Amino acid sequence: MSKLLVTGGAGFIGSNFVHHVVAHTDHHVTVLDALTYAGNLDSLAGLPEDRVTFVKGDITDAELVDSLFSQVDAVVHYAAESHNDNSLHDPRPFLDTNIIGTYTLLEAARRHDRRLHHISTDEVYGDLELDDPARFTESTPYNPSSPYSSTKAGSDLLVRAWVRSFGVRATISNCSNNYGPYQHVEKFIPRQITNVIRGIRPKLYGAGENVRDWIHADDHSSAVLTILDRGEIGETYLIGADGEKNNKDVVELILELMGEPADAYDHVTDRAGHDLRYAIDSTKLRTELGWAPTYGDFEAGLAATIQWYRDNESWWAPSKDGVEAFYASKGQ
């Protein structure tokens, strides 16, 4: 049985990956998570104790990281500060976690010769014009536009340097926007879903023309597991499911699926530096490694996500009021 260490495994995408690994492999998973506001132990509830071990700690803690690396065969690095608005308010935690934390993991991987897969984002490439037919590929130049995306770009470059300079056995994936269970209610899709459940009108930045390329978290998880198993060391793979939708269409689809009028939302001032469009070309991953998404239909995946939030109000309710109070203070 292989032993995996998953950093950030109590967060949204990380916890979905842990559930996926338990369901589809025989691996044992050790989760390392600092349990900041975005981490939630309830996201791991119900998983078998003989398959999943939880360790509370920070990826910048070199002694703890070194100890954990010595006990596992491979590491999947999800831990990150990831909220763009928060990075504009206070960039420092993003530098600490995304840069120093990744450096700490790379040094441990170097010492112990452990396989490492680094999770990144398509936001490192900047954005595309709304009428541009192009999509991001593995050769697209980096052009980050926020403290969040710039620190993720920096962490990607650290991984590449440690592969080339020190022979660390690492791969990188850059993924489009995830949706699905266990996502914090500060994020776009769960915020709108939980607003409707609470009888609050959803909020849409600006005209809602900004485009995101959506992928269900379970599809992201299957892609990461594929790269971990079959990816070529030193390579980068883009993960996407051809799910381009503008924010206006997503909000209106949420309302329709929840039995509300499609126009029952409010426009709020657009956020600073709001990227226009993200779009992923995942040809390399599909052709070289044979991966394909399960949720080819965004509407079906969104309907399943809405049902999860309806069924799991006890999971998201404790943080909902604080999130809405914060956004209200910003007029959003």
Q: What one-letter code names the amino acid at 258?
A: M
Residue 327 CA to residue 119 CA, distance in Å, equals 28
Q: Which two tokens stand for residue 63?
A: 């002694």
Looking at 78, 103, 125, 148, which residue is catalytic? 148
Residue 69 CA to residue 134 CA, distance in Å, equals 40
Phi, psi of 239 (to 5 degrees): -110, 120
Looking at 33, 58, 122, 213, which residue is catalytic? 122
Is 33 annotated in the active site? no
Looking at 58, 81, 123, 219, which residue is catalytic? 123
Q: Which residue has the tokens 């206006």?
A: 248
CA torsion, points 82, 248, 203, 239, in degrees to nearest 10? -20
Q: How far, in Å, are 20, 127, 129, 279, 330 from residue 134 at the CA level? A: 32, 11, 9, 8, 34
Is 122 annotated in the active site? yes
Three-state helix/strand/coil letters over 286-297: HHHHCCCCCCCC
Nearby residues of 161 by Cβ (< 8 Å), 6 or more positions away: none
Residue 180 CA to residue 165 CA, distance in Å, equals 38
Q: Are 152 and 98 in contact (CB under 8 A)?
A: yes
Active site residues: 122-123, 148
